[in-house]
Amino acid sequence: MTARITGSTGAPYARIMSVGSYRPERVVTNDEVCLRIDSTDEWIRERSGIVERRYAAADESVVDLAVNAAGKALAASGVAPDQVGFVLVATVTHPYPTPSAAAEVAFRLGAINAGATDISSACAGFCYGLAMAQDMIRCGSAEYVVLVGVEKLTDWIDLTDRSTAFIFADGAGAVVVGPSQEPAIGPVVWGSDGSQLDAICMTQSLTDYRDHGGTRFPTLSMKGQQVFRWAVSEMSKVSNQALERAGVSADDLDAFIPHQANMRITDALIRALKLPAHVPVARDIETTGNTSAASIPIAMDRMLATGEVPHGGTALLIGFGAGLAYAAQVATLP
Amino acid sequence: MSQEIQDGLAVIINEVAGVPVEDVKLDKSFIDDLDIDSLSMVEVVMAAEDKWGVKIPDSDVKNLRTVGDAVDYIAKATA
């Protein structure tokens, strides 16, 4: 006789309860970046919209950045650390294959009852995590989830590579996701395209570097035009699908918060989406650079803090990057 | 047909890069005359692909130096 297993039951819906972010202290101007690459402040602004970015200190780890942002989000949520059922950390720059960054983040937050794992979906990681957090809560695997997007990309880029050095930076953003009686996170639209792995990738694996590497440590490389074309043509469709699945029209949005990949991608997406002019758009890349998995929650925190978008407003979120992985959903802002 | 393509391209280039429609002439270079950089060029190409139902791979985009080059490419691809 087969034993009967008791199934889990969770909350009807989930919502983002709070957001917190951490920008490292050190501001790096375009002029400083140009000390190592053949470029100019004007060219970088024109091609990316970036004016300055933040670099973490040498002794500041991915986990340090994550704990800082997650601590702020947790405090703002009113959820006690021991109530957290899961800690998800979206990152591709934690320098250890194991143990996970999430296990250490959970420990340092005092989330002693939490499961913990990392999400490796690069710039799509935050939106992947938001969908996973919502599913955990609705299925009863966790009541509260701490979701962090964090990167210390400066450890993994070649600061003399003029196609990437000016774009990437360091930072962390976090949200607490909890139960809700009303739908507050729309259905996710996600996917990946492994046929374009070379569009954004590492120059070689760590084991190849160990065995045949020579002097060049593996760093991030990117085919900018290929990524631009994919992002604008495909992500406008994915954005529209996310709106459609949530039953929300672009006109109803209080904010559009795309991954802060490049201001030119954001502008092209706005054109492709025919986004109404009254919808505020995240442009945090200007002073934060591209922080991959961290960019959406950092931008969200800033837009709420400056009053540019209202608490409880409706936002379209979309992350996209290496993999080529992407995820989008409509969510109610905390 | 070529005139139609040129007119259509002018509208696209105006929308993407704000270049006045009347400046988009066959002998104009995208980069040097119209100040369209590689990212804007990708947007122009994508809009052209949608409009005329053609495929313009990245490997061909770099050979499209002038408006005339693009008009010829699209005319051939739609012939």
pLDDT (tens digit per residue) in A250-284 = 999 999 999 999 999 999 999 889 999 999 999 99
Inter-chain residue contact B43 with A233, CB threshold 8 Å: no
pTM for the whole thing?
Answer: 0.93
What separation in angstroms does the CA of A251 have from each of A122, A236, A333, A334?
29, 15, 16, 20
List all residues 6 or more positions away from A288 whose beta carbon is below 8 Å from its beta carbon: A23, A53, A54, A169, A171, A260, A295, A298, A299
**Burial class of residue A227 in the structure, from the number of CB atoms within 10 Å of its CB (0-12 exposed, 13-18 middle, 19+ buried):** buried
Classify the complex by whether its ipTM is higher than 0.85, answering yes or no. no
Question: A101 with A161, same domain?
Answer: yes
Question: A176 with A200, same domain?
Answer: no
* Rounded-to-integer distance, Cα A97 and Cα A105, Å: 15
- Chain A: nearest CA to B42, how far in angstroms? 6
Three-class DSSP category at A144:
strand
Q: Could you tell me if B15 lies within 8 Å of chain A, comparing CB atoms?
A: yes
Q: At what angle do helices A263-273 and B38-52 cross, to 10 degrees?
A: 20
Question: A247 with A277, same domain?
Answer: yes
What separation in angstroms does the CA of B28 have from each of B15, B34, B41?
17, 7, 14
Three-class DSSP category at A5:
coil
Q: Which residue of B has its CA nearest to A228?
A: B39
Asked if B72 is an active-site residue, the reply is no
Question: A88 with A148, same domain?
Answer: yes
Q: Which residue of A has its CA nearest to B12?
A: A271
Higher pLDDT, A108 or B18: A108
Q: Which residue of A has its CA nearest to B35?
A: A46
Inter-chain residue contact A226 with B58, CB threshold 8 Å: yes
Q: Give the total number of structural domains in chain A.
A: 2
Which residue range(s) make up the domain with B45?
Answer: 2-78
Q: Which residues sit opposite A152 in a β-bridge? A: A170
Inter-chain residue contact B42 with A47, CB threshold 8 Å: no
Question: A226 with A323, same domain?
Answer: yes
- Chain B: nearest CA to A286, how far in angstroms? 18
CATH number at residue A94: 3.40.47.10
Q: Which of A51-60, A224-233, A249-258 has the lowest mean pLDDT?
A: A224-233
Q: What is the pLDDT of residues B43-52, one digit of tens each?
A: 999 999 999 9
Q: Which residue of A has its CA nearest to B49?
A: A233
pLDDT of residue A214: 74
Residue A4 lies in a domain: no
Question: A139 with A263, same domain?
Answer: no
Higher pLDDT, B39 or A120: A120
DSSP per-residue letters across B5-74: HHHHHHHHHHHHH---GGG--TT-BTTTTT---HHHHHHHHHHHHHHHT----HHHHTT--BHHHHHHHH
Nearest to B43 among A47, A226, A232 (CB): A232
Residue A7 lies in a domain: no
pLDDT of residue A216: 83
Question: A25 with A170, same domain?
Answer: yes
* Rounded-to-integer distance, Cα A123 and Cα A150, Å: 10
Residue A6 lies in a domain: no
Nearest to B43 among A47, A226, A268 (CB): A268
Q: Which residues sit opposite A89 in a β-bridge? A: A118, A148
Number of helices followed by number of strands (H, E) in chain B: 4, 0
User: Which residue in this structure is represented by tokens 């002097």?
Assistant: A215
Contacts of B46 in chain A (CB under 8 A): 229, 232-233
Inter-chain residue contact A271 with B16, CB threshold 8 Å: yes
Residue A20 lies in a domain: yes
Q: Which of A137, A152, A180 is the C-terminal boundary of a domain?
A: A180
Question: A175 with A28, same domain?
Answer: yes
Residue A8 lies in a domain: no
* Rounded-to-integer distance, Cα A23 and Cα A150, Å: 10
Q: Which of A119, A152, A180 is the C-terminal boundary of a domain?
A: A180
pLDDT of residue B37: 87
Helices (H), A255-294: 263-273, 285-288
Q: Which of A180, A204, A226 is the C-terminal boundary of a domain?
A: A180
Q: What is the pLDDT of residues A151-186, one digit of tens each?
A: 999 999 999 999 999 999 999 999 999 999 999 999
Contacts of A46 in chain B (CB under 8 A): 37
Q: Give the total number of structural domains in chain B.
A: 1
* Rounded-to-integer distance, Cα A153 and Cα A56, Å: 9
Does the pLDDT of residue B1 top 80, yes or no? Answer: no
Question: A51 with A99, same domain?
Answer: yes
Question: A207 with A171, same domain?
Answer: no
Inter-chain residue contact B39 with A271, CB threshold 8 Å: no
* Rounded-to-integer distance, Cα A291 and Cα A248, Å: 28
Nearest to B46 among A46, A229, A264 (CB): A229
* Rounded-to-integer distance, Cα A124 and Cα A149, Å: 10
CATH number at residue B70: 1.10.1200.10
Residue A5 lies in a domain: no
Question: A175 with A251, same domain?
Answer: no
Question: A20 with A167, same domain?
Answer: yes
Nearest to A228 among B15, B16, B42 (CB): B42
Which residue range(s) make up the domain with A283?
Answer: 189-332
Inter-chain residue contact A229 with B38, CB threshold 8 Å: no
DSSP state of A126: H
Contacts of A225 in chain B (CB under 8 A): 38-39, 42, 58
Inter-chain residue contact B58 with A264, CB threshold 8 Å: no
- Chain B: nearest CA to A38, how far in angstroms? 17
